[in-house]
Structure 1
Amino acid sequence: MYGQSLIHGLLTLLLNPLLYVGGVLMVWERARAANHERRFFGTRVSRVWRPVFALWGQSLAGGVVISAVCLFTGARVTPVDAAVVTAFTLIFGAIRARQLSPLYGIACLLMAVFGIRISGWQGADTPSAGLLSQWISSLAHTDVKSWLAIAAAVCLLEAALLWFNRSQRPAPAYVLGKRGRPVGALLTQWSFLVPMVTFGPGPNPMPHMPGGVWPLLGAVAGGWSLWGLPLLMGTSGFSITTVPSERALGTAKYMLLAGVLLAADVYAVDAFGLGYVWAGIVICLVAREWTVWRTRLRETKGEPLYAQVPMGVRVLGTSQGSVADEMGLLPGEIITQVNQVPVHSNYDLHFAFEQNPAYAKLHVLDARGEMRIVGKPVYTGERNQLGLVLVPDGGSLTCYRKFGYGLFEVLYAKVATREALPVWVDWAEIESAPTTDS
């Protein structure tokens, strides 16, 4: 019985188009950003598949957690509910990818259920009734408390995933600053494809739990099985005036608050009636847009953290496994000397490295304003693998000129390409090539 229900839940999950839409967008977003790095720096700095696999693994673990919570509370879905949420999510996602969050689909489902109930149109659940009448009948009996509980679990899980990934390695990028000049930025892509499995109608008799402890949200009439639904959550964007970890913690804080409010709304609907479902609908619609608005506000009001400085050259990023990465150079740090030669520009840095290509000794000013010295012998095979990305140092550079914040928002980032100065530091001969606007 349980094995058949589990197989049924996995099949309904695999047949849902959101699973494949989300998987493709996760890979596409990473690959697009990595291809842009070739245009920015002449080489790829970030990896594509390893981070995607890591996020898929975390999503699977999150799916186990949210499924356990839904099963413990007795949250239930019906095929019509799942289809409506999926359809509205895809429609909203076609308008803007960040709206692929299940919160928008759940809000639309709850509005439809509320409208059907107050209109008194119950439909008919008989074989002779039309398809629309059968769907209306199913929606009229939708358990709104279950969907509010699922929405609360989505918010709380997203907050936990963002908190866990707050220290994820960001990718370097160039963006067009407020004054019309390119500045450095750190690109973070936190997207999660969470598989959820919970109760739905099926042939298995509902087990009796003493004391009515489980399921808390009611039993599935006529028997139960398991039903699956993929959930997309997360955020992407550029950190220009803030640190990526601060952005992650800020978004996680707001999603945590939304989850707590939705959980409270479950109690309000249960205790005081259907009228309180509107509070949950508003929270579902506003929660993510509020986080986007707050992030954009913070990024536009502050001063760039990754801009040129007079006392040296600022590090924007390093390539994984490179010499610079092994030396522990971090974004935002300032290199003041290379092999005892003071550096004040990217050209000075190239010149200083050429004086002693067999060894790299750097004086680095860290984020706390403290000086440290790092060094490493550079062997013949490593001379083209310094892997150091610096902030823009004057001139016209390839950069992102239009971008947003939210789930898969990197896919909407526009790139302006012009004649660029060399910014990717190695011991190889550097050549510049003409580029075009796109």
Structure 2
Amino acid sequence: MGLDWLLELLKGTLKLFLHPVFYYCFFIAAALGVSRVKRERKNFSVRSENAYFELRQLLPLGIVIGIGISIVTITAGITIPFATILFMAVLTILLSATTKPRLIAPVYVVGLAFFLTVVAGGEEWSVPLFRDAFHQLDEKIFPSIAALLSLLVIGEGLLILINGKKGTSPKLMKSKRGQRVGLHEVKRLWMVPVFLFIPGTALQAPFEWWPVFSIGTESYSMILVPFAVGFHQQIQGMLPKVAIQAFGKKVVALGIFLALLSVGSYWLPILAIGVVAIAIVGREVLTLRQRIKDDDSPFYFSKQNHGVMILGVLPGSPASKMALQVGELVTKVNGTLVHDEQTFYEALQRNRAHCKLEVLDVNGQVRFVQRALYEGDHHELGILFVQEEKKWGTAAV
């Protein structure tokens, strides 16, 4: 029995490479990286992370979370009709065409696929290749889709909480008063591969070689489905790491609440509709509240009278090796008080072999950092500030 399950898992994994969303996610992640680099070069004449950064974030953590969700779905015997999987694939591609990564989130993709499945349940739809995909869609399958959605929302929250804070992108804009200010933005796409049971023989009809196994009197197929999880957040009123982690915790809490509700839907299947509706509305409310709160907050990254605030730190630069952090305030350079970018670099050039900085950290504590400077080191230490007009571009927000 154990060997049979192992073979099914292996076959299900290989089927991942037949899913178009698997390849599409790589394309979207690469496009996000290229777009970010272009904007950063326009703002700062240099990019922070390279264009492959988003691609590197696509899978590692998503695989771990996908394994966790797969264990729950397999153990609980959650089955998802193939019609819903078709809807999710189409919706992922259609919603990505809006160029808004946040719309490629489980609540929208799986949620809309759920309601399309409800509509399809009352129709005798037939599509090429998958003529049996829309048969036997009754209310018994609604709780399973709602349960899967709640698990994916928890996974999304964990991705935001753990991975979203990494590599946030510094950005420049003009405030309503015409002042130059900075903010941070994260646009990310993750892939979460999940093993799912598909009831019936919907996949065997077009592909005779597709393996089907039986549990009791029922037939099932197993497939590894790649779920795209998009995320976009812009932070202007606080440290990006703090804001993103706080938002991730709220998404996790929403997912747990939905999971508890979805359990009840197995006794009352119609409740699954309410679970999915709450998921969509709840996720929108979280996004709207975060945006309103941030818009009402003063800009965290703006010109300071008693130092220059670090908007970004280039990876591998002297600043990175000195452990300088986004949001810290540099008050002195080589013993000289600095109050803007010009005085910072003037003080830095007075000693080209060594630099000593007095820094006010994010907790309001003063610390000193110093480092020898070597030939080939970044001449500006690799620190990004809210730059002067001559270096600032008219970035769209």
The alignment-based identity, stated in percent, is: 22
- Seen in structure 2, the aligned counterparts of structure 1 residues 108 and 354 have a Cα distance that, compared at 3 Å, is closer
Structure 2 counterpart of 1:149: 147
- Mapping 1:27-426, distance limit 5 Å: 27-50=30-53, 52-95=55-98, 96-115=100-119, 121=122, 123=124, 134-140=132-138, 143-165=141-163, 167-201=165-199, 203-206=212-215, 222-271=218-267, 273-382=268-377, 384=379, 386-393=381-388, 397-402=392-397
- Give the partner amino acid of 2:253: L
1:436 match: none
What do residues 208-230 of structure 1 show as CA deviations (whole Å, max 9, x unaligned)? xxxxxxxxxxxxx6322312221
Q: Structure 1-normalised TM-score?
A: 0.79
State the Cα distance separating 1:378 from its structure 2 match: 1.1
Mapped partners of 1:56, 1:366: distance in 2: 33
The 1-side partners of 2:230 and 2:120 are apart by: 32
Q: State the partner residue of 2:208.
A: none
Residues in 2 aligned to 1:318 and 1:131: alpha-carbon distance in whole angstroms: 52
Q: Which runs of 5+ in 1 are unaligned?
A: 208-220, 403-438
Give the 3-state SS of the residue equivalent to 1:47 in structure 2: coil
Would you say the 8 A contact 2:317–2:378 is kept in 1? no
Deviations 1:405-431 (A, max 9, x none): xxxxxxxxxxxxxxxxxxxxxxxxxxx
Task: State the secondary structure of the residue aligned to 1:32.
Answer: helix
Distance 1:113 1:173, change over 3 A: closer
Which of 100-109 and 29-38 deviates more? Answer: 100-109
TM-score for the superposition, normalised by structure 2: 0.86
Counterpart CA distance in 2 for 1:288 and 1:362 is 43
Alignment check: 8 A CA contact 1:361 1:375 kept = yes
| Alignment match, 1:416 | none
After superposition, where does 1:14-25 map in structure 2 within 5 Å? 14-25=17-28
Match in the other structure for 1:419: none
The alignment partner of 1:357 has SS state of coil
2:92 counterpart SS class:
helix
Which residue pairs with 2:8 in the alignment?
5
Distance 1:124 1:396 in 2: 58
Letter in 2 for 1:170: T
Partner of residue 205, structure 2: none
Aligned residue-pair number: 382
Deviations 1:293-331 (A, max 9, x none): 122112200001110011121111111111111122211
Cα deviation for residue 131 of structure 1 reads 8.6
User: 2-side partners of 1:4 and 1:323: how far apart?
Assistant: 51
1:341-370 residue CA offsets vs partner (Å, 9 max, x unmatched):
221221111211222211111121222222
Q: Tell me by how many angstroms 1:72 deviates.
A: 1.0
Provide the aligned C-alpha RMSD in A: 2.7
